[in-house]
């Protein structure tokens, strides 16, 4: 949670203390990142949004690393 607002900094499903499924991360500057995890490892598209909610970019992650594939 952010101490200034009390809003969560991260939200998602935990499975045995690891993220599993879609996780949303809010940054203090208002940007938001949505990432899919499988057994605690980033897999799938990582989407980044600016503070107004506009999609800034997408990057494919596999086994916790960027594949080099991106869009926008």
**Which tens digit of pLDDT belongs to each residue from 35-65?**
999 999 999 999 999 999 999 999 999 999 9
CA 34 to chain centre: 3
Q: Delimit the domains of the chain by residue range.
A: 10-71
**The pLDDT of residue 29 is above 90:** no
Mean pLDDT of 15-39: 91
- 69 pLDDT higher than 90: no
16: alpha, beta or left? (left if phi > 0; alpha if psi -120 to 50): left
pTM: 0.80
| pLDDT at 7 > cutoff 80 | no
Residue 9, pLDDT score: 85
pLDDT given for residue 41 in this prediction: 96
């Amino acid at each position: 949670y952010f101490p200034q607002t009390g809003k969560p900094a991260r939200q998602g499903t935990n499975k045995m203390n690891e993220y599993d499924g879609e996780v949303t991360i809010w940054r203090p500057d208002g940007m938001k990142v949505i990432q899919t995890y499988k057994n605690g490892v980033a897999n799938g598209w990582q989407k980044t949004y600016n503070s107004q909610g506009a999609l800034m970019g997408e990057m494919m992650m596999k086994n916790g690393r960027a594949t080099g594939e991106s869009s926008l």
